[in-house]
Structure 1
Amino acid sequence: MAPTFLILLGAAVALGADVRPDKNYRVNPPGNVTAEVQGSRLHVRWEKPVSAFPGHCFEYEVRLHNTRKQYFQTEKMTTNEFTTTVHDISKYCIKVRAAVSSVCREGGLWGEWSPAISVGNEAQKSWTEWYPITLVAALCLAFVSSLACRTCHVWTKLFPPVPGPKSHIQDFAATVNYEVRPRSFRCVPPARVGPPGSHT
């Protein structure tokens, strides 16, 4: 058993791997990290760190940074690929790091992050792409508004009918009755005026 360990240790040293018997050593960052956006899906892949441990002995952390919204997301996994849903007008900065899992030995410390890679596009959509969406939304809003106004009689509540001006044409067409009625008068005798001081 000892010769096998020496051969593995010698091969690891020759390859530049970081195998140490200490449980607290940090593994190298994962290699060959690649990422691509297909529609609204982001696919990230990487290779295991250079190490004497086999691929199933590693745990990984993937960190996504949405540079447009300043949002960070960190995911843990045991496979060497990661897929998530993203916004198509955002740029993402991606890093991956590894640690030896407790499956192969007592858990180790997380290694360094891999160099950051960027994917995505921060360019805004041109107005020609937004125009059909805006037009359809405006038509739908107009239709719903007119339907609501008709069913709730909103127009008559907001804009009550204004009475029209009085027509004077009807006054000219009306027949005026000029018959004179005799008035009855009551005769009142005139008051007598006498010398001052005399009352009758």
Structure 2
Amino acid sequence: MTTSRKTKAGLGLLSWAAVALLAAGCGTQRAENPAEAYRRTHPTPTGISTPSTPKDYRCPGESPRSTPPTAATTSGSTVPPTDHYAENHGFRNPLPLHGKSRCEGLAAVGRIKTALEPLRRRGDFAPDRVRGALTGLGYSTDKVRAYQDGSAGVGFLIDIGASPWCVEGTMGRNFTKADAFGGYPDGTGCEPPSGGH
């Protein structure tokens, strides 16, 4: 009789211990992130690479001394600003081109500078003339914008339209500058966005 009571008491105590242990563990397991669950159940097949930082290489006609920009290259100080100005205005920084697109951009910049050089030498800084020289290269008239930039210069912006692919620059008495870029982080075209996050 004593053994039966001890067994029942032991089982009762064991049952309460098991319930307490299970109750203590309830709610501590978190729901799995849907993206992680998908990756776990749908692993990347062998032979398919995942996106990485694009590699840049020297483009045809590019000087061996110049080094292509990389995604890790940043301008300015490495110390984070205390007022978050750079962070809050990052949407205004154009996206760099990489790989083949970068080489095509450099080639387009070269053609544009060559087309504008006769105007610059003559001192012809009329936006209509600059626009005419750029559309003469085959760029669509509705995708080329030229405007007065200061008292003795003209600025231009060309929307090449390839996902986007843009060329922007200025021409003054002593120089012609142009840069190719891939649009803006928060924009849908070549025009700088008016507001960010």
TM-score band, normalised by the shorter chain?
under 0.3
What TM-score, normalized by structure 2, do the two folds share?
Answer: 0.24
Q: Name the one with the larger strand percent.
A: 1
Q: Which has the larger Rg?
A: 1
